[in-house]
Amino acid sequence: MKTLLIIFTIIISETIMPQNFDFEQHLYQSYERYKENSLTHRRFKHADIIPLIDKLKHQKGFTVKVVGKSVEGRELKLITIGHGKKKIFMWSQMHGDEPTATAALFDIFNFINDTTNKDFCKALFERVTLYFLPMVNPDGAERYKRRNFYDIDLNRDASRLQCPEAVILKSVFDSLKADFGFNLHDQSHRYSVGNSFKTATISFLAPAYNYEKDVNDVRGKAVKLIGNMYQALNHFIPGHIAKYSDEYEPRAFGDNFQKWGTSTILIESGGWKDDPEKQFIRKINFIALLSAFKSIAEESYSNTSAEIYESISFNDKYIFDVILRNLTMKSGKEKIKIDIGINLDEFEGPNEKKIYYKSQVDDLGDLSTFYAYNDYDFDGYTIERASVYEKKVSPLNKLEKIDFYDLYLKGYSTILVKKLPDEKFTRFPINLALENKIDTTINIGESANFVIKKDGKVEYIVINGFLQKVEKNRKFEGNGLVIK
C-alpha cells in the first residue's frame, strides 16, 4: 500500500493540472473570461492586432521582437514567453483569409496574463517556452484573401523562399529549432468528417515529410500529440474532428518543418452550424492549443496510442450550405422528385464588417448521401423558378415602402428597377435587375430563386439561396442580388 501511495504521489507531481480533461472542461467553461473582446469577427486586420501585441511588451514574462516586414511593410512580430527547455513554435494566418486561430492566440495571451492561472503558467513555463508568430500574411489579411501581395501562396514558397513573409517564417524556424510546431489554418466549412453527416469543425494533420508517408520519431510525436488533442476536443465537438489530406507537398511549410526536425501539427478550422464568424471554433482552438502545451509539458502524449490518429476519418465533401429535399418539379405533364443542393459564397461589402452572400445551385437530383447546414424536407411541396416583377421601380428608395409579402405571395423573387445600384448585393429582401432575362427552368450554376408551393399556394420563397416562409411582417435573414 505504501509503495502504491508513493507511486501515486509521483504521478501527481508530474502533472501540472488535474487529468481526465478537467483542465479542458475548465477552459471551456471559463473561456469568456479570456476572450479578446476587440476581435469580434473574422475580418480584423494587422492594424487591429498590433496594439494588442505591443501591450504584451508591458506584461510580465513576455518579449516581443520585430522579425521582419511583409511586402507592403507590415511588421511581423515574434512573441515569446517561458523559460522551459521544450520549445513550441506556432504561426498563424499564412493564408490571409484564415484568421480563426490568430484570434485564439490573443485569447491565450489573456489566459496567460490572468492571475487566476498563475500557478498553472508558472509550472508550464518551467518546462516549455512558447513562440508565437501571428498573422504571417498581413497583406493578404488586409484584402481578406488567401495569397500575399504578389498573389503567391506562401504555403508553396517554403522551398523557393521568394516572398519576405516566407523568408521570415523560415528564419524564425531556423533560429528556434523548436521541438513542436503548430501550423494554424482555416479550411472550407463544407468539409465533412469522412462520409458522415458531420461537419469537419477541426481537422488535424501530422504532415508527411516524404512521398512514402513514413513515420519517424519526429512525425511520430506529432501523431501521438494529435491523439491527445483529439481526445480532449471530442468532448466538445463529438464526431466533428477529421484528418486533413496527408499527401506530401514538398513546397509547403508544415511538410518541410516536419522533415527538418520539428514535430509539426496542422490545425484547420472548418465549420460549425450557426457559427459563421467561427467564434465557437476560435474557442475550440484556444482549448486545443492550451491542452497541447500541457501535454507537451507533462509529456503525457508519449503514452498515447498512434492508433487514435490512424482512426480519424479524412476530410470529405458531403456538406452543402442548404439542401431542399423531396420537392416535386413539374415539366409539362411530367412530375419529378428532386433535391436541390445550394451553396452560398461570401463577399465583403463596402463596409468590411458586412458580409454578403451569392447563392448557386450546385447539384440537383438524389442528394440523400449529402447533408446541409440548413437541411429542409419539402415532401408534398412543389417547386418552380420564382418570377420577375416587371413594373419598374424608381427611384430605389421607393423599395422601402413596398410590401414584399404581397410580392412573395405572387411568386416574385426579383424586381425590375430603372437604375441599378453600384454594389453587387442589396440589403432589400429581393433581387434587383434592369430587365427580365431570367430563365424559367432550374439549372445548375444559377442563383437559387424559387417558389415552394403546397396545394397551389406559395408557402415559401427562396431569394438568392435564403429560404423564407411567406408570412406577414416576417424579417428576411439574408441579402438579395443586384443582377447586372
* Binding residues vs Zn ion (CB under 5 A): 95, 98, 185
Report the residue number, 137 or 228, with the smaller CB distance to Zn ion.
137
User: Whole-number minimum distance, CB 164 to Zn ion, in Å?
Assistant: 18
Report the residue number, 94 or 470, with the smaller CB distance to Zn ion.
94
Chain position whose Cβ is nearest to Zn ion: 185
Report the residue number, 74 or 95, with the smaller CB distance to Zn ion.
95
Residue 398, C-alpha cell as written in the block: 421607393
Q: Are 402 and 426 in contact (CB under 8 A)?
A: no
Report the residue number, 185 or 240, with the smaller CB distance to Zn ion.
185
Element (H, E) at 297: helix 279-298
Report the residue number, 246 or 363, with the smaller CB distance to Zn ion.
246
What are the CA-CA distances from residue 266 to residues 47, 205, 280 (Å)? Answer: 26, 5, 19
Backbone φ and ψ for 455, nearest 5 degrees, come out as 50, 40
User: Whole-number minimum distance, CB 407 to Zn ion, in Å?
Assistant: 42
User: Whole-number minimum distance, CB 88 to Zn ion, in Å?
Assistant: 20
Report the residue number, 158 or 463, with the smaller CB distance to Zn ion.
158
Q: Are 270 and 244 in contact (CB under 8 A)?
A: no
User: Whole-number minimum distance, CB 457 to Zn ion, in Å?
Assistant: 47
Report the residue number, 183 or 359, with the smaller CB distance to Zn ion.
183
Element (H, E) at 139: helix 138-142
Question: How would you label 67-87 residue by residue, b for 16+ Cβ within 10 Å and e otherwise?
Answer: ebebbeebebbbbbbbebebb
User: Whole-number minimum distance, CB 360 to Zn ion, in Å?
Assistant: 23
Q: Are 205 and 246 in contact (CB under 8 A)?
A: yes
Report the residue number, 82 or 134, with the smaller CB distance to Zn ion.
134
User: Whole-number minimum distance, CB 80 to Zn ion, in Å?
Assistant: 24
User: Whole-number minimum distance, CB 470 to Zn ion, in Å?
Assistant: 41
What are the CA-CA distances from residue 244 to residues 203, 448, 452 (Å)? Answer: 6, 31, 38
Q: Where are the alpha helices (DSSP H) in 177-252?
A: 217-233
CA 238 to chain centre: 17
Please give the radius of gyration of the chain, using alpha carbons only, rounded to the nearest integer: 26
Task: Give me the half-sphere count of Cα atoms (radius 13 Å) on the Cβ side of residue 138.
Answer: 22
Residue 225, C-alpha cell as written in the block: 500529440
Report the residue number, 43 or 86, with the smaller CB distance to Zn ion.
43
Of 147, 108, 107, the closest CA to residue 130 belongs to 108
User: Whole-number minimum distance, CB 75 to Zn ion, in Å?
Assistant: 22
Paired with 329 in beta bridges are 336, 383
- 3 state SS of 12: helix
Paired with 377 in beta bridges are 325
User: Whole-number minimum distance, CB 186 to Zn ion, in Å?
Assistant: 6
Q: What amino acid is encoded at 352 in this protein?
A: E
User: Whole-number minimum distance, CB 98 to Zn ion, in Å?
Assistant: 5
CA 434 to chain centre: 36
Report the residue number, 98 or 339, with the smaller CB distance to Zn ion.
98
Of 222, 169, 173, 234, the closest CA to residue 198 belongs to 234
